[in-house]
Amino acid sequence: MIDSHSSTHQDWLVVGQGAIGLLTACQLQQQGSSVRLWLRQPASLTVHFRALDGSSRHHRFEPWPASQPIQIAFIPVKAYDALSCIQQLQPLLAEDACLILSHNGLGTLETIQPLLKPKQHLWFLTTTHGAYIEPGNQAGRQLVHSGAGNSVLGAIQAGSDPRPSFAKALNLAIGPLLSVTDIKPYLWQKLLLNCLINPMTALHQVHNGELAKPHFTSELTQLLDEFCLLAERAGYPQDKAAAWQQLQQVITQTASNRSSMLQDRLAGRQTELEFITGFVLREAQRFDLLLPGHAQLYQLCQDAGF
């Protein structure tokens, strides 16, 4: 874990106005960092923030100034927006900028990495903190930090500093933060949860907790078996019993939540299916593996229009 006692003052850019991005932005600002937002339409934004202990406070964020080079950018945008987002930021990125991606699914890094200059470094953060934006008429955003979690940070390029200077600030904002030299095994563990929970809940339009019901057990078991087969071939072997236990734990802990894919479906937004089940199936093809459970689930999701 990162030492949480010293504070740092850095110029952060946080991209978008999703719950995890705004949570991080508020917490970074609270501990003294300068934070600006990158929104589709550059504008200032007020966030009414309710912390875990029920206390409230207000944060105001200005857009990134058009001429200032970007040194550290936290980019918690959907997987399908990650590439175009980096392309938009590119003209302003400092020669040695640090970019921290955070999204569900895999398959974005391969297209983003070739765009970066030799000293621009890419990181990935995965988090279990819960946050949501309350619908409301008040100007600005009503952000609720709904569940304490932890985060894991890892560099994508070999040879990156294993304890970058910005990790301290992230630890205070969205920690406890574990810095790891290889983030990929963590991303595959998250992929496992996402490729079982997200398409199933989105297809059947149920809260996460419904998946604990016995009529979902055989399908979830098949999906897990197939995933483990693939993960083994891809070099990220999973302990099946432990994975099943973790799945049940997440289903129970998030029982009353709608998965991100169900939320996207209900809101008529694009989903991350291509980067979750789509990625799994593309990887399976690479290893000449047939994953009939995932293939059928993918087809049903497509037929349902998401």
> Min. distance of Cβ 90 from ligand PAF in angstroms?
28
Nearest to 21 by CA among 55, 59, 56: 59
**Tokens 């339009």 identify what position?**
205
SS3 letters for 138-201?
CCCEEEEEEECCCEEEEECCCCCCCCCCHHHHHHHHHCCEEEECCCHHHHHHHHHHHHHHHHHH
> Min. distance of Cβ 280 from ligand PAF in angstroms?
14
User: Contacting ligand PAF (CB under 6 A), which of 126, 127, 198, 271?
Assistant: 198
Rounded Cα distance between 251 and 16, Å, is 28
Query: Which residue, 19 or 177, has its beta carbon nearer to ligand PAF?
Result: 19
The yes or no reply on residue 259 touching ligand PAF (CB under 6 A) is yes
Considering only the stretches 53-61, 71-79, 156-164, 190-198, report the one whose residues sit in contact with ligand PAF under the rule CB under 6 A.
190-198
User: Contacting ligand PAF (CB under 6 A), which of 171, 208, 238, 277?
Assistant: 208
The yes or no reply on residue 47 touching ligand PAF (CB under 6 A) is no
Rounded Cα distance between 112 and 106, Å, is 12
> Min. distance of Cβ 261 from ligand PAF in angstroms?
6
> Min. distance of Cβ 78 from ligand PAF in angstroms?
11
Residues 90-109 within binding reach of ligand PAF (CB under 6 A): 104
Q: Pick the catalytic residue: 78, 117, 119, 190?
A: 190
Residues 108, 83: contact at Cβ < 8 Å? yes
Other beta carbons less than 10 A from residue 22's beta carbon = 24
User: Contacting ligand PAF (CB under 6 A), which of 179, 238, 260, 271?
Assistant: 260
User: How far is C-alpha 177 from the geometric centre of its chain's CA atoms?
Assistant: 15
Query: Which residue, 98 or 262, has its beta carbon nearer to ligand PAF?
Result: 262
**Binding pattern for the stretch 219-258 against ligand PAF, x by CB under 6 A and - elsewhere:** -------------------------------x---x--x-
User: Contacting ligand PAF (CB under 6 A), which of 26, 125, 156, 197?
Assistant: 197
The yes or no reply on residue 277 touching ligand PAF (CB under 6 A) is no
Longest distance between any two alpha carbons in the chain, whole Å: 57
Look up 190 and say whether it is catalytic: yes
Other beta carbons less than 10 A from residue 53's beta carbon = 6
> Min. distance of Cβ 149 from ligand PAF in angstroms?
10
Rounded Cα distance between 271 and 262, Å, is 8
The yes or no reply on residue 126 touching ligand PAF (CB under 6 A) is no
SS3 letters for 49-98?
EECCCCCEEEEEEEECCCCCCEEEEEECCCHHHHHHHHHHHHHHEEEEEE
**Tokens 């995890």 identify what position?**
20
Spatial neighbors of 223 by CB under 8 A, at least 6 apart, are 195, 196, 200, 293, 294, 297
> Min. distance of Cβ 289 from ligand PAF in angstroms?
23
User: Contacting ligand PAF (CB under 6 A), which of 25, 192, 193, 224?
Assistant: 193
The yes or no reply on residue 194 touching ligand PAF (CB under 6 A) is yes
Footprint of ligand PAF (CB under 6 A): 104, 193-194, 197-198, 208, 250, 254, 257, 259-260
Enumerate the active-site residues: 190
